[in-house]
Amino acid sequence: MRSNDKMNLLIAVHSHQPEGNFEWVFAEAYEKAYLPFLTILQQHPDIKIALHYTGCLLDWFAAKHPEFIKMLKRLVKRGQVEMLSGGYYEPILSLIPERDIIGQIKLMNEKVKEFTGYSPSGAWLAERVWEPTLIKPMAKAGIRYTIVDDSHFANVGEKPDELSGYYVTENEGQRLLIFSGSERLRYSMPFKLPNETINYLKDLRNKGIPAKVFADDGEKFGIWPGTFKWVYEEKWLEGFFNALEAEAEWLNTMTFSEYIRKYGPTGRIYLTCGSYREMMEWSGGYFKNFLVKYPEANNMQKKMLYVSERVAATDSKKALHHLYKGQCNCAYWHGIFGGLYLNHLRSAVYSNLIEAEKAMDAITHKARPWVDVKAFDFDSDTYDEVLVSLPKLNLYFSPHNGGSLFELDFKPLSLNLTNTLSRRKESYHEKLSKPKKSEPDSSVQSGGPPSIHDIVGVKDKGLTADLNYDWYKKVSLLDHFLREDTTVKDFAASRFSEAGDFLSGEYNYEIKKSTKPESLTLRLQREGNYFSVSGEKHKVKVIKSIKIDGADCATELNYEVINLDSEEISPRFGVEFNYSLKDPHLNHVGEVRNLRNININDQWYGIKIDFEFSEPTSFWYFPIETVSESEGGLERTYQQLSLLFHWDLKLAPKEKWCIRIFKNIKVTE
């Protein structure tokens, strides 16, 4: 770099709201971040920038604020804004099949061209989750460059402050250009005074660094805590643009494509799998570790892959559209934002995947009655799961994990009724025992608001009492043998011990198809052990037969508990169900004895589940709430309703106890 050469600042701002997020969140983000940012930008025509809006937002802008798209088009036309492509519904590209990577990016290319007249050559990489295998599909989709973080480069030995411009990488003969975003700029913009960023860039120029990249979320300019006041009311953004213009003699902004046209690559690079530094901490070093930490995320991703495989075998545009929506990344992981912990985001993923299935079912089966059963390793754990599909229901069973039911889809409402989440310990739970860090005043004198990564806050009160952790997967059709002294409060807090080995033990299974075209029976059985209070081991067999009638969404459960031992046993046997529903009458820890029927009524979804028992039944119920981190601090989130039906048994040697449970799912009027 010659002493009279200008320093180049390349700015990329990415904006996204997840599929399934609340309308008011879209509206607030528009009013506090997206609109004011673009309004101020257009007042500074010499400031050049790259913008990325995900398909979720582009669809919303087109429906709610078409004037915003017109504003974008004007800025693109005058050469001030370069539009970035990417996966249309913001998937983590490494989580989806190559065909869907190419399809999602091409869809974004088409939409950006349609809305703004610009054909993008660069792509925003969702959460900057990089894997070398992405080079080929991105190149095939017409992408020339992307942006990652300087931490990606640091992982292969590069020094972040010495990085500049773009680098060339390749895989299997396909080439991609990669820019490195600066973490220091991420933490200074907009949280530090403009002159601090200017001085940093000047220092880099004096050291011979010709270009630096800022690439981060648009929501930090107005939506993150304290930023609206700082960025707009106290005019940080206006001041920053003014400062850039005032230093035009040595400091220049340009788009990424302009930089590529004007300058050659800095060098060749081969990056390892990675993401930005904070994501690497949350994921444990590799993004796909989220699928290990959260089995619920793994089930969701494997469901998506299963649906994608089916969609690929059809030409249904409707199914493909819903599949792409179901690949929206936010519900598949968890970091500083709610992500996986937000049940409405998980629900949106499942809803779209079920909609895709319904579109394919209509093509495959038309209006005929049908039932489809598949036994294969659905979740990639080497064990077979049993997937039962009917016109109105999907039921996914895990014989090796307690013969449990881990997915129950009610197709008339495109609703996964077992969209549940286990409570687990998170490192940030330790914050509840520490004093809250005070937030600095957002004033020009004291500097801006803290970065969202530096805030230690508690959004809801009394969270310490809610720190209960589950030691097993909170799914359904779980068989418990409990101690006589176990209480509903013990069970609700997951502070109890099992007196049997059935809860997560392996069950043998047998599928019996009925003469009725929409019915079948799945028989699951296990010979295991019951441990008495004195510690003696007794042989017990549990048989559960699930008769499914897809015509009216009815299920008949027939349970048999058989004492195989030579001594009498007195177990408390229970069957647990977890439903991602909320009934106000059951929204507390409670118990009822000697009932014969009960119904769960969720008014939000408009659905009712009726239970009827052949024998008097005791019933425990309670809500499952998690404590998770969000941009506003630690918060309590409702996840599901947990139910345990149980019976105190006394079985002589070789004696068998039986109960029949009828369950029916209905749409309420």
Q: 552 an active-site residue?
A: no
DSSP letter assigned to residue 6: P
Name the 3-class secondary structure at 238: helix
DSSP-derived secondary structure letter, 231: I
CA atoms 222, 228, 230, 233: torsion sign? positive
Active-site position among 127, 357, 407, 583: 127
Phi, psi of 147, deg, nearest 5: -130, 130
Evaluate whether 164 touches 156 at the Cβ level (below 8 Å). Answer: no
Distance (Å) of CA 338 to CA 221, 240, 330, 605? 19, 30, 8, 22
HSE-CB for 461 with a 13 A CA cutoff:
0
How big is the CA angle at 159 (ends 156 and 165), to the nearest 5 degrees?
A: 95
First-to-last alpha carbon distance for the chain, in angstroms, is 72
Under a CB-based contact definition with an 8 Å cutoff, are residues 420 and 580 in contact?
Answer: yes
Q: Is 441 labeled as catalytic in the residue annotation?
A: no
How far apart, in whole angstroms, are the C-alpha atoms of residue 158 and residue 272?
12
Catalytic residue (one of 59, 170, 217, 466): 217
Distance between CA atoms of residues 87 and 124, nearest Å: 8
Q: What is the DSSP string of 60-74?
A: HHHHH-HHHHHHHHH
- Token pair for 301: 């991703």
Q: What is the rounded distance in angstroms from the CA atom of residue 635 to the CA atom of residue 443?
A: 28
**Radius of gyration from C-alpha coordinates of the chain:** 28
Could you give the CA distance from residue 126 to residue 86 in angstroms, rounded to a whole number? Answer: 8
Using left for φ > 0, alpha for ψ between -120 and 50, and beta otherwise, residue 157 falls in left
**C-alpha torsion angle, residues 598, 578, 498, 572 (rounded to 10):** 10
The 3 state secondary structure assigned to 207-226 is CCCCEEEEEEEHHHCCCCCC
- Residue 641 CA to residue 577 CA, distance in Å, equals 8
Catalytically active residues are: 127, 217
